[in-house]
């Protein structure tokens, strides 16, 4: 593994996922960091990350740039807008995209970077901030062998499970689209099950524990279930994954399915549920709040 004197990565965006990823990387690599929020830069400096006052300055001379953006538009803005970083990137460096932004957006950005001899590493991930800080993420990758080799010091430190899906940008997004189809459906199904349990007069905590131990159990039921019970409390559940993330992700799922002529009736129904939650003002709530859309307590 390269040492801090031989490999440098810039992490742009030091939020809930960016900061623990940058901190993990700083344990062995030289890490440049940028965030528009000064308090996040201060926390980064305390963690051994070198703070910069602009994204362009942070990426100068680095081997890799790690981007955790919300959507395809943000990805294009970071790279190609008036204040974008593309002109500051060195030829031969790689841009590692860890977000779920969709197949088409990643392919288009990769094509724009290619003439500059900069490759895009399509590396969407699964796992939360704790797992990011421990290097315990699931990462799937679509990129050329050369780009994967350049990005390996970063990916190897962040992932406990690293799977190469193919040699092209978009291959990682394709897998993540399938992954998010299941995650979105499972969260919606868990909400329906727990809402039904309560309506039938069952103790929902006992129901959740028992369901999780049997054939009906799933990761999302066990993970989101307790937060669904908290969703009815004042202030709701702690926000660990915003509801509007699944508005975006299920939109990517259904759009991809339409592009290949595949009907997705269950995913489409789940998408509508997340959209309904967003229209009710729950976009910034934890996605476990979807249970309150199905079964509001004041009814």
Q: Which residues are catalytic?
A: 176
Q: How many CA atoms lie less than 13 Å away from 247 in the CB half-sphere?
A: 18
Q: For tokens 């940008």, what's the residue?
A: 169
Q: For tokens 């500051």, what's the residue?
A: 88
Angstrom distance (rounded) from CA 144 to CA 241: 31
Sequence-ordered alpha helix ranges (H) in 170-264: 171-199, 204-212, 219-230, 243-259
CA-atom Rg of the chain in angstroms: 20
Angstrom distance (rounded) from CA 237 to CA 8: 38
User: Are 21 and 11 contacting, i.e. CB atoms less than 8 angstroms apart?
Assistant: yes
Q: How many residues in the chain?
A: 299
Q: How far apart are the first and last CA of the chain?
A: 58
Angstrom distance (rounded) from CA 232 to CA 55: 40
Extended beta strands in the chain, E state: 8-12, 30-34, 50-51, 64-67, 94-97, 119-122, 125-126, 137-142, 159-166
Q: For tokens 């992932």, what's the residue?
A: 159
Sign of torsion over alpha carbons 78, 82, 86, 89: negative
Distance of CA 64 to the CA centre of its chain: 18
Distance of CA 21 to the CA centre of its chain: 12
- The candidate with the shortest Cα–Cα distance to 112, out of 83, 68, 89, 80, is 80
């Amino acid at each position: 593994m390269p040492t801090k004197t031989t490999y440098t990565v810039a992490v742009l965006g030091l939020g809930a996922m960016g900061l623990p990823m940058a901190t993990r990387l700083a344990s062995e690599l030289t890490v440049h960091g940028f965030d528009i929020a000064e308090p996040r830069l201060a926390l980064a400096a305390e963690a051994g990350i070198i703070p910069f006052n602009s994204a362009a300055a942070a990426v100068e001379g680095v081997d890799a740039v790690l981007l955790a953006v919300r959507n395809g538009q943000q990805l294009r803005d970071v790279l190609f807008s008036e204040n974008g970083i593309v002109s500051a990137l060195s030829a031969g460096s790689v841009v590692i995209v860890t977000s779920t932004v969709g197949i088409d957006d990643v392919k288009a950005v990769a094509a724009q970077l290619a003439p500059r001899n900069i490759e895009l590493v399509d590396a969407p991930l699964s796992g939360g901030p704790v797992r990011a800080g421990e290097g315990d993420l699931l990462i799937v990758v679509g990129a050329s062998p050369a780009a994967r080799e350049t990005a390996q010091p970063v990916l190897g430190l962040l992932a406990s499970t690293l799977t190469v899906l193919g040699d092209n940008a978009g291959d990682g997004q394709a897998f993540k689209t399938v992954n998010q189809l299941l995650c979105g459906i499972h969260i919606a199904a868990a909400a329906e099950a727990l809402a039904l349990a309560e309506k039938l007069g069952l103790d929902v905590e006992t129901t959740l524990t028992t369901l999780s131990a049997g054939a009906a159990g799933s990761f999302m039921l066990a993970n989101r279930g307790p937060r669904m019970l908290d969703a009815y409390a004042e202030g709701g559940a702690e926000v660990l994954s915003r509801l509007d993330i699944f508005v975006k992700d299920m939109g990517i799922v259904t759009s991809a399915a339409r592009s290949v002529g595949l009907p997705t009736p269950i995913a489409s129904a789940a998408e509508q549920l997340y959209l309904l939650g967003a229209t009710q003002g729950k976009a910034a709530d934890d996605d476990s709040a979807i249970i309150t859309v199905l079964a509001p307590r004041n009814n």
